[in-house]
Amino acid sequence: MRPKTKQAFNPYMPSWEYVPDAEPHVVDGRVYVYGSHDLFNGLNFCLGDYVCWSAPVDDLGNWTYHGCIYKREQDPAAPKIRMTNGLAAPDMVVGPDGKYYLYYFMGGTKMISVARSDEPAGKYEFYGYVKYQDGTPIGKRNEPFQFDPGCLKDDDGRLYLYTGFAFGGNPILLDGSAPTKEGPMWFELDTSDMLTVISGDELNYLDVLTGDKAKGTPYEEQPFGEASSMRKFDGKYYFIYSSLNSHNLCYAVSDKPTSGFQYGGVLVSCGDIGLPGVPDPKHARMDTGNTHGSLIQLNGQYYIFYHRHSNRKQSSRQGCADEIQFVDGKFLQAEMTSCGLNGGPLAGKGVYPAYIACNVYGRNGTRFLSMVKYPRGMCPFLTQKGGDRDEGPSDQYVSNFCTDCTVGFKYFDLRETREIIVNLQGYGDGCAVTVRTKEHDGEVICRIPVETCKTQKGFTGKLPEGLGEKEALYFSVEGKGGTFDFVSFELK
């Protein structure tokens, strides 16, 4: 295995890129990510055209941008109004012809569309709509809402498509369709054309339950909501979905691709809700909203791909990925980290941008975000300078880094680290930045006096000896009236 060229962070794409709803797939030694495409400060979800990124499986910090792979206007059914009819979460599967098929949903169509390419990140061309044998596209027979297609090509060559949406309170997205009350739907497709349903005209549902069906079952706490994705590991089928709680990615497991699923548990929460010390949304470690993603095995380790939220609203989402433990056939809930795909803690020397924070919360906690920005208040938040997709030096940062807030980073090897420099801009005469290795109630290991600075300035503090090879760093502001932009920090 060749040496890594870069450390991997979360989010794993550049700070100016907003690709949520990730479906990762390995092709010829590279992991390709297919997802939606938000705009920074976008008024709604999924307003961008599809783009693609990939990285070598043995160098997961070294991502390549392949550009736009598909434009919404290529779909003949694309509505003229983009604002409420974006390209939603896609998935990719390789056909028996060796071509790459992108299954996707576009708002305002009610159908599942397919585009095709000769290369995994090539220019995709519109191919058709998933359809019944009489030619009617699925979604056009008053079925429950088709949404977020997930694909699985099984070892025997059979192809399955999974869709569904159970949130009943979204009249704009539903566009007159009904949400599913049974659970996600599945269709077997004819691999000769990759479009035609061969599982019959009657709808088939997975036994991954939602709504009233989930009451009194193991799904009651985490009923199916959306974000269907199917993966197969060691002969078992893992159905990944976002629950009606929205902030949780969950899974169910079966020996078959279409039945027999048993609830497995939570894979990740985009606020770390459910981990020790985070019992409920009131204690979330990051602003929450929806999440969507999937599992993948890379280099003998399992990872969960998901997304986080920024800019005080739901529609500026960024892709993240974290290691997840697989013990005795069960996935254990992963924690959000800054080191994500790195394969271990980050080095204890170097400059780190503040936007790789994995915990960001204020004295009053966090918020479940809406499509409208919340007031700044006493909560820090992730944002950026400039406009959408201002490529170049990463300029995302933590704004409103204020008194009694917490901005946390996990994890670093601090055995040889002796000095820390915080780079700030803002107001706070008489204030200090405190550093802990445990959360807000942990022992302060460094206190760094800071002052008002209208331009970015570094403030230095000493770290004690005896720190470990896997340490978190939590930064807070101490003192009345401190409010800064937290740009970066340096470890020496």
User: 471 an active-site residue?
Assistant: no
Catalytic residue among 188, 226, 287, 478: 226
**Residues 323, 382 within the same domain:** no
Answer whether 355's CB lies under 8 Å from 394's CB. Answer: yes
Residue 9 lies in a domain: no
Q: Are residues 317 and 277 part of one domain?
A: yes
Is residue 432 situated within a structural domain?
A: yes
Paired sense of beta strands 330-331 and 453-462, if any: unpaired
In the listed set 342, 377, 402, which residue is the last one of a domain according to the structure? 342
Average pLDDT value for residue range 8-26: 97
**Beta carbons of 250 and 223 less than 8 angstroms apart:** no
| Token pair recorded at residue 221 | 């706490």
Band (pLDDT 50/70/90 cuts) for residue 2 is low
Q: Which of 17, 21, 148, 287 is catalytic?
A: 21
Reported confidence tier of residue 40, pLDDT bands at 50, 70, 90 = very high
- List the structure tokens of 155: 């070892």
Same domain for 239 and 370, yes or no, is no
Report the alpha-carbon distance of residue 105 to residue 204 in Å, rounded. Answer: 19
Residues 380 and 473 in one domain: yes
Alpha carbon distance 5, 340 (integer Å): 16
Question: What's residue 220's pLDDT?
Answer: 98
Amino acid letter at 422?
Answer: V
CA atoms of 83 and 107, how far apart (whole Å): 9
Q: pLDDT tens digits, residue range 178-219?
A: 999 999 999 999 999 999 999 999 999 999 999 999 999 999
Higher pLDDT, 395 or 163: 163
If asked whether residues 249 and 125 sit together in one domain, one would say yes
Give percent of the chain with pLDDT exceeding 70: 99
Instruction: Identify the pLDDT of residue 3.
Output: 73
> In the prediction, which pLDDT does 159 show?
98
Both ends of the chain: CA-CA distance in Å? 29
User: Where a domain ends, among 320, 342, 364?
Assistant: 342
Supply φ then ψ for residue 174, to 5 degrees: -65, -30
Q: Write out pLDDT tens, residues 289-307.
A: 999 999 999 988 999 999 9
Kindly state whether residue 479 falls inside one of the protein's structural domains.
Answer: yes
Q: Is residue 21 annotated as a catalytic residue, yes or no?
A: yes
**Euclidean distance between CA atoms 343 and 348, whole angstroms:** 15
Q: Are residues 100 and 169 in the same domain?
A: yes
pLDDT value of residue 317: 97
Q: pLDDT grade, residue 173 (50/70/90)? A: confident
Domain assignment of residue 10, yes or no: no
User: Which amino acid belongs to residue 168?
Assistant: G
Q: How many domains does the chain have?
A: 2
Residues 377 and 257 placed together within one structural domain of the fold: no
Which of 50, 86, 54 lies closest to 68 in space, CA to CA? 50
- For residue 290 the two structure tokens come to 């929806």
Last residue of a domain, one of 325, 342, 359: 342
User: What is the model's pLDDT at position 391?
Assistant: 83
Task: Give me the DSSP letters along 184-242.
Answer: -EEEEE-TTTS-BB-S-SS-EE-S---HHHHTTSTTSSS-EEEEEEEEEETTEEEEEEE
Question: How many other CB atoms are found less than 10 A from the CB of residue 156?
Answer: 6
Q: CATH code at 222?
A: 2.115.10.20
Same domain? For 244 and 261 the reply is yes
Confidence of residue 1 (pLDDT cuts 50, 70, 90): low
Tell whether 484 is covered by a domain.
yes
Query: Is residue 7 in a domain?
Result: no
Positive/negative CA dihedral, 97, 99, 103, 106: negative
pLDDT in tens, 430-485: 999 999 999 877 899 999 999 999 999 999 999 999 999 999 999 999 999 899 99
Same domain, 210 and 256: yes
Query: Is 293 found in the same domain as 389?
Result: no
Q: Answer yes or no: do 294 and 399 share one domain.
A: no
pLDDT at 99 over 90: yes
Spatial neighbors of 37 by CB under 8 A, at least 6 apart, are: 18, 19, 46, 47, 48, 49, 50, 51, 87
Domain encompassing residue 362: 350-491
In a domain, 426, yes or no: yes
| Averaged pLDDT score across all residues of the chain | 95
Average pLDDT over every residue of 275-279 = 95
Within a domain: 13:
no
What pLDDT score does 386 carry? Answer: 84
Q: How confident is the model at residue 492 (pLDDT cuts 50, 70, 90)?
A: very high
CATH number, domain of 455, equals 2.60.120.260
Q: Closest Cα partner for 384 from 10, 17, 20, 49?
A: 17
Tell me, yes or no, whether 448 and 304 share the same domain: no
What 168-177 contacts at long range (C-beta under 8 Å, 24+ apart), as own/partner pairs, is 172/84, 173/84, 173/107, 173/145, 173/147, 174/145, 175/107, 175/108, 175/110, 177/110, 177/139, 177/142, 177/143, 177/144, 177/145, 177/146
Q: Which helix (H) or strand (E) holds 66?
A: strand 64-70
Residue at token pair 């269709």:
187
Q: Where are the alpha helices (DSSP H) in 215-312?
A: none
Kindly list the distances between the CA atom of residue 89 and the CA atoms of 10, 157, 228, 301, in Å, as whole numbers in the listed order.
Answer: 20, 24, 10, 25
Rg of the Cα trace of the chain? Answer: 23
Considering only CA atoms, which of 364, 355, 221 is closest in space to residue 283? Answer: 364
List pLDDT tens digits, range 300-332.
899 999 999 999 999 999 999 999 999 988 999
